[in-house]
């Protein structure tokens, strides 16, 4: 998260606080190998699954920019979780990789998912072999962390959003488990040079030339795609799934947006699945194709190519989301040809929890070849300053790279707490603003994970890793496991969240990323050491102790009052679902249809696996759905109209190539009465025509 107005709001609240089931799970576990006997032998079995994880679309603070003014008012596109289960056909060893269209994966989410998986599958899925990751969209509802720092802008904890995410991830994994079938795996790469830019170039430039040489202009342009080709009984194969890794922030949508959106990564997923392969997310619980667009070392990679919010390639944030997403999609598809290598070897995984507030780092991992230690988590003054590349304005007394140059910073920090000389020395040259570790606002015992898929290694990091930090982690792991650098990739935003991870050289520049590197100047060497040790253990075939996890904080959560629904009532003289503003009579492709309904609060029922709307075309005597609230062409907007009434505005941008005919828009709502009973209702617009 790198944003000025957003982080400022967060710090203001911190200062004030310191001073003053119904989801489908698919077939039973016994059917997990359902297709294995019908197809030719293969080294791997692969299963795929998708499920809805959309949180509360009304009055829930959004996760990412930490902007109090940014609360959900509807849906542009739904959030989803995509899961791949990859198993070694010979040994039965398996791993799970999940990409969820959310800002972060927090430890509480991971713990709840693992508990549900254990209840269903026993020890089949565990800490060791499940990797949960986030696209890092900044346009989703928040309040689903069990660490208080991240629930400030949502005014507390949102159980509905938390449950939607946990249950959706579990449903996606369950569907993938039931979908296992023989498959070939291959890895392809391509170069994508117009979809990211280094937003912290001043910090990047402090790195050694040998590191910078890997990244012309400071950007990591490597797009890596894991291809899943399922085997049919006749021996033929078809592309049935992909996981793509490309480092770029999911911040094409700005802090001004209040509609739920999976941002550029989510658009790439949607475009390949729905527009190219025809997946219907509502009817296809077992789709023929799944595309995950995961993050890598995206810590200093922005999609705003002109280094201003909503600027690059255009000035339109929706169009930028589509363009950057399309470029990621095109780069992944470009690599599907002959320039790929088959994966060979078994499946393996390791995980360890480490208290990063007190790691003794060995000399071989530090820049000066001397032993060093990490320290208790703290945020620097530039965290409050943020930047102008991906967010809004900030408090003027805080400047990136200048946190030690303003005496007011020290006065504010001293007013908040008495910093120990040891903490100040350990965090230097960062000027400590908030000791979030001592205040127990963030997680300090963090997971680091290593997965082996054939001869491809994936390092799960619970942080926003800069490109040079990612390079150094990859080198450390490649050396430990005895493979080439190109066979190792960093998976950022995995399993927990610890803000940023910069190199010691970048840390010294005191930019936003360095100020948000929690555990001091030698945090990266500590992570390198842990990842290297995991690699050495994997190479030797020995297990590693899991390490101590932090206490379960689920029982300590304070429910947020925001987004709570007491009662719904229609406008005077109206009924729920009545059309308040009707569409026109005729539209052409490229025009927008708009309908306003007498509605109710959308948080009454999240419609998981379904939709709040449908655009329908008349075919013969029946109406067929052509779009819903998961489609790019629609927008579902909700607003209060007085105390208990609501207005729902549904728009449909008629896509090019839409068939001529008769259409209508339907709204599916749910109203709460004074007794707390929630009842569904439907609104239907007058029929309108589309003429091509």
Specify the pLDDT at position 131: 99
Residue where the block lists tokens 């001293």 = 414
Cα dihedral sign for 462, 349, 174, 629? Answer: positive
Instruction: Name, in order, each residue with C-beta under 8 angstroms of 540's C-beta and a sequence gap of 6 or more.
Output: none
Residue with the bigger pLDDT between 389 and 304: it is: 304
Instruction: Name, in order, each residue with C-beta under 8 angstroms of 411's C-beta and a sequence gap of 6 or more.
Output: none
> Are residues 269 and 135 part of one domain?
yes
Give the C-alpha separation, 144 to 14, whole Å: 18
Confidence of residue 232 (pLDDT cuts 50, 70, 90): confident
- SS3 of 268, please? helix
Tell me which of 28-37, 427-436, 520-529, 629-638 is least confident.
28-37
Cα dihedral sign for 261, 264, 270, 271? Answer: positive
Distances (CA, A) of 311 to 136, 252, 301, 305: 19, 9, 14, 7
> Are residues 536 and 471 part of one domain?
yes
For residue 396, is it within any domain?
A: no
> Are residues 175 and 302 part of one domain?
yes
Count up the domains in the chain and report the number: 2
Specify the pLDDT at position 30: 35
Give the C-alpha separation, 293 to 223, whole Å: 10
> Are residues 184 and 132 part of one domain?
yes
> Are residues 592 and 499 part of one domain?
no
Among candidate residues 545, 502, 178, the one with its CA nearest the CA of residue 367: 502
Specify the pLDDT at position 337: 79
For residue 359, is it within any domain?
A: no
Answer yes or no: are the C-beta atoms of 380 and 515 closer than 8 Å: yes
> Are residues 528 and 586 part of one domain?
no
> Are residues 214 and 109 part of one domain?
yes
Confidence of residue 386 (pLDDT cuts 50, 70, 90): low
- Write out the E strands in 406-492: 432-434, 445-453, 456-460, 464-465, 488-491
Statement: residue 629 has pLDDT above 60: yes
| Mean predicted confidence (pLDDT) in 397-406 | 44
Statement: residue 202 has pLDDT above 70: yes
Alpha helices in 122-244 (DSSP H): 159-178, 201-204, 209-212
Statement: residue 397 has pLDDT above 80: no
Each residue's pLDDT tens digit, 608-621: 999 999 999 999 99
CB atoms within 10 A of CB 464: 29
Among candidate residues 437, 502, 408, 511, the one with its CA nearest the CA of residue 463: 502
> Are residues 340 and 251 part of one domain?
yes
Tokens standing for residue 37: 């006997």
> Are residues 586 and 535 part of one domain?
no
Give the C-alpha separation, 300 to 311, whole Å: 17
Each residue's pLDDT tens digit, 14-32: 433 333 333 333 333 333 3
Statement: residue 218 has pLDDT above 80: yes
For residue 683, is it within any domain?
A: yes
Give the C-alpha separation, 604 to 601, whole Å: 6
Residue where the block lists tokens 């430890």 = 107
> Are residues 678 and 586 part of one domain?
yes
Give the C-alpha separation, 157 to 561, whole Å: 9
| Domain around 656 | 579-690
Antiparallel, parallel or unpaired: β 94-100 and 197-198: unpaired
Specify the pLDDT at position 413: 54
| Percentage with pLDDT > 90 across the chain | 84
Among candidate residues 234, 204, 186, the one with its CA nearest the CA of residue 299: 204
Specify the pLDDT at position 416: 53
Statement: residue 173 has pLDDT above 90: yes
| Mean predicted confidence (pLDDT) in 566-574 | 97
Each residue's pLDDT tens digit, 67-105: 989 999 999 999 999 999 999 999 999 999 999 999 999
Last residue within a domain, chosen from 510, 540, 570: 540
Each residue's pLDDT tens digit, 541-565: 999 999 999 999 999 999 999 999 9
Specify the pLDDT at position 407: 52
Give the C-alpha separation, 579 to 571, whole Å: 11
- Average pLDDT value for the chain: 91
> Are residues 319 and 228 part of one domain?
yes
Annotated catalytic sites, by residue? 302
Distances (CA, A) of 580 to 618, 649, 674, 682, 686: 23, 9, 24, 14, 11
DSSP sequence for 594-606: EEEEEE--GGG--
Antiparallel, parallel or unpaired: β 360-361 and 500-501: unpaired
Each residue's pLDDT tens digit, 317-364: 999 999 999 999 999 999 897 678 999 999 999 999 999 999 999 999
For residue 240, is it within any domain?
A: yes
Three-state SS sequence of 340-359: EEECCCCEEEEEEEEECCCC
DSSP sequence for 383-429: HHH--SSSS----TT--TT-TTS-HHHHHHHHHH----HHHHHHHTT
Last residue within a domain, chosen from 485, 511, 540: 540
Each residue's pLDDT tens digit, 450-477: 999 999 999 999 999 999 999 999 999 9
Each residue's pLDDT tens digit, 361-385: 999 999 999 999 999 999 998 887 6
For residue 378, is it within any domain?
A: no
Specify the pLDDT at position 11: 36
CATH classification at residue 614: 2.60.40.2300
Tell me the backbone φ, ψ of residue 23, rounded to 5 degrees.
-70, 145
Q: Which residues share a beta bridge with 679?
A: 671
For residue 386, is it within any domain?
A: no
Distances (CA, A) of 29 to 85, 112, 117: 13, 20, 11
Specify the pLDDT at position 389: 72
For residue 551, is it within any domain?
A: no
Specify the pLDDT at position 153: 87
Q: How many angstroms separate the first and last alpha carbons of the chain?
A: 44
DSSP label at residue 101: S
Statement: residue 227 has pLDDT above 80: yes
Element (H, E) at 552: none
Residues making up the chain, counted from first to last: 692
For residue 555, is it within any domain?
A: no
Statement: residue 12 has pLDDT above 70: no
Confidence of residue 410 (pLDDT cuts 50, 70, 90): low
Last residue within a domain, chosen from 487, 517, 540: 540
| Mean predicted confidence (pLDDT) in 245-259 | 97
Specify the pLDDT at position 682: 98
Each residue's pLDDT tens digit, 113-145: 999 999 999 999 999 999 999 999 999 999 999
> Are residues 623 and 512 part of one domain?
no
């Amino acid at each position: 998260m790198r944003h000025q107005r957003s982080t400022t709001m967060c710090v203001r609240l911190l200062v004030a606080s310191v001073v003053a089931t119904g989801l489908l799970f698919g077939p039973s576990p016994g059917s997990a190998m359902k297709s294995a006997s019908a197809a030719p032998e293969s080294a791997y079995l692969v299963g795929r699954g998708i499920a809805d994880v959309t949180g509360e679309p009304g009055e829930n603070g959004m996760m990412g920019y930490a902007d109090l003014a940014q609360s959900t008012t509807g849906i542009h596109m739904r959030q989803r979780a995509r899961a791949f289960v990859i198993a070694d056909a010979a040994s039965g060893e398996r791993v799970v990789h999940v990409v969820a269209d959310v800002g972060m994966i927090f430890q509480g989410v991971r713990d709840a998912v693992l508990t549900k998986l254990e209840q269903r599958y026993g020890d089949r899925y565990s800490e060791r072999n499940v990797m949960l990751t986030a696209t890092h969209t900044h346009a989703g509802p928040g309040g689903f962390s069990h660490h208080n720092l991240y629930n400030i802008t949502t005014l507390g904890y949102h159980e509905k959003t938390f449950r939607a995410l946990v249950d959706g991830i579990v449903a996606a994994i369950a569907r993938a488990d039931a979908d296992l079938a023989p498959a070939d795996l291959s890895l392809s790469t391509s170069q994508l040079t117009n979809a990211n830019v280094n937003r912290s170039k001043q910090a990047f430039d402090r790195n050694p030339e040998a590191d910078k040489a890997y990244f012309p202009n400071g950007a990591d342009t490597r797009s890596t795609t894991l291809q899943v080709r399922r085997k049919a009984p006749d021996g033929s194969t078809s592309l049935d799934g992909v996981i793509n890794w490309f480092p770029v922030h999911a911040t094409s949508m700005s802090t001004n947006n209040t509609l739920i959106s999976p941002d550029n990564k989510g658009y790439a997923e949607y475009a390949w699945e729905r527009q190219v392969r025809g997946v219907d997310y509502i009817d296809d619980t077992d789709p023929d194709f799944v595309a995950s667009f995961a993050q890598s070392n995206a810590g200093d990679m922005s999609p705003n190519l002109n280094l201003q919010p909503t600027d690059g390639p255009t000035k339109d944030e929706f169009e930028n989301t589509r363009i950057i997403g399309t470029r990621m999609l095109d780069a992944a598809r470009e690599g599907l040809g002959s320039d790929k290598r088959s994966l060979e070897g078994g499946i393996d995984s390791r995980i360890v929890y480490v208290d990063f507030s007190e790691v003794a780092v060995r000399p071989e991992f530090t820049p000066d070849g001397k032993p060093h230690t990490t320290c208790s988590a703290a945020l620097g003054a530039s965290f409050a300053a943020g930047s102008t590349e991906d967010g809004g304005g900030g408090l003027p007394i805080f400047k990136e790279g200048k946190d030690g140059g303003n005496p007011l910073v020290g006065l504010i920090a001293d007013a908040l707490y008495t910093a120990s000389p040891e903490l100040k020395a350990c965090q230097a040259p960062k000027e400590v603003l908030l000791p979030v570790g001592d205040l127990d606002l963030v997680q300090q015992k963090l997971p680091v994970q290593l997965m082996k898929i054939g001869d491809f290694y994936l390092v799960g990091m619970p942080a926003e890793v800069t490109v040079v930090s990612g390079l150094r982690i990859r080198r450390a792991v490649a050396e430990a496991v005895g493979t080439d650098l190109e066979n190792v990739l960093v998976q950022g935003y995995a399993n927990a969240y610890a803000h940023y991870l910069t190199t010691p050289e970048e840390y010294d520049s005191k930019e936003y990323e360095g100020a948000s590197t929690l555990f001091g100047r030698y945090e990266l060497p500590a992570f390198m050491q842990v990842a290297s040790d995991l690699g050495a253990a994997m190479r030797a075939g020995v297990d590693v102790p899991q390490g101590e996890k932090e206490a379960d904080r689920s029982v300590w959560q304070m429910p947020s009052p925001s987004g709570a629904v007491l009662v719904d009532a229609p406008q005077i003289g109206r009924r729920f679902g009545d059309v308040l503003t009707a569409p026109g009579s005729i539209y052409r492709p490229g025009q927008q249809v708009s309908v306003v309904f007498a509605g109710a609060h959308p948080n009454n029922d999240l419609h998981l696996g379904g939709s709040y709307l449908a655009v329908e075309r008349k075919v013969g005597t029946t109406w067929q759905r052509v779009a819903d609230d998961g489609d790019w062409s629609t927008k579902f907007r909700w607003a209060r109209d007085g105390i208990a009434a609501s207005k729902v505005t549904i728009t449909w941008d008629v896509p090019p190539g839409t068939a001529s005919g008769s259409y209508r828009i339907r709204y599916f709502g749910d109203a709460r009465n004074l007794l707390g009973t929630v009842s569904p209702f439907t609104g239907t617009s007058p029929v309108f025509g589309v003429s091509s």
